[in-house]
Structures are given as C-alpha cells and as structure tokens.
C-alpha cells in the first residue's frame, strides 16, 4: 500500500509539472526566472507585462557560465525590472571555485536582488558535506558582496538541510502546487516558484513563474543597498 501511495504521489507530481502554469492570483509582486533554456528573450515585450522581478542563471559548478547571462543581466536593468542572479550549486565540487565563478561573472549593483544559491542536488554527498559546503559558498559570496545570499531549494531539501541551519536567510521555495510552501517553526517563505510551464510574451517556450511574499516596497527593502551593506 505504501508503495502504491508513493507511486500515485509521483504520478500526480509529474502531471502537475506537465500542466500549463496559470498566473497565481492574490499576490502583489510577480516574477520569473530564466536561463539559456529560454534562448534569446525579447525583454521589450516582457517589460510591458506585469513582471516585477527576474532571477537569471549566471553560473553552475566551478566553470560554467550561462551563455545568455550577460545579455539578460544588462538588458533587464535597462527595462526597469528588478534583477537577480543565481548559481547552480554542486556539493561535490569546491565551494571556493564555485563562489569564484559566480563572483567573476556577476557585477552586482545597488538595487539588485541578493545573489542566489540554487540548491537542488546533493550529488550523493553526505549531509555534513552538503551543509558545510553550502555554508562555505554562502560565506564567501556574502563577504564579497556584503549582502546575505538567498537560498533557493525545494520542500524536501529545505527540511533536511536548510531548516535549523540557515534560518537567517531569505528562502526561495520551489513547490509546483496551488498550496503555498510549508516552513518549519512558522518561518516565512519569501519567494515561491509555483510552476515551470508558464507563458510570458517575449519568451519562447515555458518559463518558471514566481511570487514574492510581500509588497513591492518590501521587495525593494531586501535589495542590495548602501545602507544594507553598511549594516552588515
């Protein structure tokens, strides 16, 4: 019976990921996240739609740089959309080299969203290794930019690795569901990636859709700023 329930859960999750993602109502601030998989984006068209922020893939591992990052990063700023950059993290690789890859790629400026560590794989590393290397990357990036990174993850990894270990971080949760993410000890989620098959004019194919748990003014308050940097 337990096997059947697990199988049915996986089938439901697969079907949810295959259904077109409808815009989530009831939130003031909406955003998307993109990478090379969205190819060349027409940001002029995107900018006239109700999109408040964009997270974009910058780097992965020790050497990979997303081939569309530079164009996306520079163009989004000129359109007046809040921008953020993320690094796809591999726990089995050097956190120093991964942090260096990100730092050498992303020219973070005041007004940008904090850097993001995209944590969605463990690559078979032990729990201790995962936590220690996450902390190493985060510490290196925070020291360089003088702003605490955002952690992107899913419910399963959050409960196992992030809760109780990184409680002072902004959490961006992936949960493809109409129900909001559940957090430990009544903690607040800040960003919610609620689907991966959204449609946005100016972008070919599917795109991830997100909301921010707060007002636009609150979004601005978490962005990189001189006052925030001095307070660290």
Domain containing 206 equals: 2-231
> How confident is the model at residue 20, as a pLDDT?
84
> How confident is the model at residue 185, as a pLDDT?
81
Tens digit of each residue's pLDDT, the chain (232 residues): 545 544 444 444 445 556 888 889 999 999 999 999 998 999 999 999 999 999 999 999 999 999 999 999 999 999 999 999 999 999 999 999 999 999 999 999 999 999 999 999 999 999 999 999 999 999 999 999 999 999 999 999 999 999 999 989 999 999 999 999 999 888 999 999 999 999 999 999 899 999 999 999 999 999 987 554 444 4
Contact predicate 52/40, CB 8 Å: no
| 44 vs 82: CA distance, rounded Å | 14
pTM tops 0.85: yes
> How confident is the model at residue 231, as a pLDDT?
44
The backbone torsions φ and ψ at residue 179, rounded to the nearest 5 degrees and listed phi first, read -95, 135
State the catalytic residues: 33, 120
Contact predicate 114/222, CB 8 Å: yes
Helical H segments across the chain, by residue range:
2-18, 43-47, 69-78, 95-105, 127-145, 155-157, 216-222, 226-231
| C-alpha torsion sign, points 217, 218, 221, 224 | negative
Q: Is 105 exposed, middle or buried (0-12, 13-18, 19+ CB in 10 A)?
A: middle
End-to-end CA separation in angstroms for the chain: 52
User: Per the structure, how many domains does the chain have?
Assistant: 1
Contact predicate 34/72, CB 8 Å: yes
Looking up residue 195, the CATH number of its domain turns out to be 3.20.20.80
Contact predicate 51/31, CB 8 Å: yes
| 89 vs 157: CA distance, rounded Å | 13
Q: How many CB atoms lie within 10 A of CB 101?
A: 21
| 62 vs 54: CA distance, rounded Å | 24
> How confident is the model at residue 17, as a pLDDT?
53
């Amino acid at each position: 019976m337990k096997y059947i329930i697990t199988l049915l859960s996986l089938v439901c999750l697969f079907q949810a990921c295959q259904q077109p993602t409808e815009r989530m109502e009831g939130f003031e601030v909406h955003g998307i996240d993109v990478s090379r998989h969205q190819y060349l984006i027409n940001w002029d068209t995107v900018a006239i739609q109700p999109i408040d922020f964009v997270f974009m893939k910058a780097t992965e591992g020790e050497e990979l740089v997303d081939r569309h990052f530079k164009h996306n990063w520079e163009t989004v700023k000129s359109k007046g959309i809040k921008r953020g950059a993320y690094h796809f993290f591999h726990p089995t690789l050097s956190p120093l080299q991964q942090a260096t890859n990100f730092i050498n790629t992303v020219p973070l400026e005041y007004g940008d969203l904090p850097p993001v560590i995209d944590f969605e794989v463990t690559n078979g590393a032990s729990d201790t290794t995962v936590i220690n290397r996450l902390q190493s990357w985060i510490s290196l990036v925070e020291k360089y930019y003088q702003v605490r990174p955002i952690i992107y993850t899913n419910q399963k990894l959050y409960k196992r690795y992030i809760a109780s270990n990184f409680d002072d971080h902004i959490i961006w949760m992936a949960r493809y569901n109409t129900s909001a993410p559940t957090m430990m000890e009544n903690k607040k989620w800040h960003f919610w990636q609620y689907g991966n098959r959204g449609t946005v004019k100016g972008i070919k194919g599917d795109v991830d859709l997100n909301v921010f748990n707060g007002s636009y003014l609150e979004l601005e308050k978490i962005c990189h700023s001189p006052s925030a940097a001095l307070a660290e």
